[in-house]
A and B are shown apart, each in its own frame.
Chain A
Amino acid sequence: MLKMHDVSKIYRTDLIETYALRKFSLEVNAGEFVAVTGPSGSGKTTFLNVAGLLETFDSGSYELDGADVMGLSDDARSKLRNERIGFIFQSFNLIPDLNVQDNVDVPLRYRRFNAAERRERIGSALDLVGLASRAKHMPAQLSGGQQQRVAIARAIAGDPAFLLADEPTGNLDSLMARQVMDLLEQINEMGTTILLVTHDPELARRAQRNVHLIDGQISDFRAYEPRAAAAAGGAQALA
């Protein structure tokens, strides 16, 4: 479970202080699929970076699976990130001179799994995203959609509790975007909690819950009706 309470993140220059997150509070339960939306500069990516322990915050509290992350050392944060969190980025962020298999292997190396276990996990993850046959290909030899699927395989190979996706379909055409979303839903159904930052209303609607950010705070305004609420509303109308 992810629990943020009154989290503030401030970017400072000599002259000004900018609140990227202002007294931001959010709870995400295990197994949820939450879409985070908002205009550019609203703090979506900062939220995702703080949630993913890539950035620290200035005040408030943040618990990840019951652990207070505020006072953790870099080593402890990295370990937690490695074991509990998977990242998916808009621009895939595959390492260009490693082949598909070695890319998926990266988080497993830092987890210090032995070779047999790494091989098994890489195989399962690539199977899940349908790219087992491309294990030896280099990223440049794959289409955008395939690269993002490799990135998803890399994110889930360590079996993380949370998957943080920052505009995962931003660089894909609509068909590939749908395939990637289908895959994320499938992973969510397997029990992984997903936090998805997106501009795309269609994607946001496919989440169970929608959090809308404006100026680093959660807004009451609901830009998109999440799939669960829409389903419930539809059922009510029928009744």
Chain B
Amino acid sequence: MPSPLDLSTSLNKLAEIVVKDISNGVKRGTQFGKPFKPNEKSTIKQKGHSNPLIGKSNTFTKKATYPITKATKTKQVAAISIIDGADNIALINQTSKTHPREFYGVSDKAMNSGQKSIDYDINKWVDKEIINMGYKKV
């Protein structure tokens, strides 16, 4: 029987990349290849800056806002969430029809970065399988 492929390390790394990417997207003001809808002039005046999705506490730029449930060898699922209290504001921004600011999700850029780690794990697995099938280490 072939040995199981363990992607838990890669999944956890991917989760960290996704969180960093979401946080950077908020700092940058763009995500999924498009800018967020700008704040109203009155909001900019009130906040003192023009960064959409950034308020006094900078909640959406902080990694701690997006807790990760890590994958393990036996449960190869990693999950990302948003802390209570920030989730409803995130939902409003993400799904608003008039002021859409889709910032939460997995961008192609994050997925492509994570894929490198997944490919590395598959590569290691291939080596192991080749040896298991009777070849010497390549």
A binds B: no
Partner-A contacts on B (CB < 8 A):
none
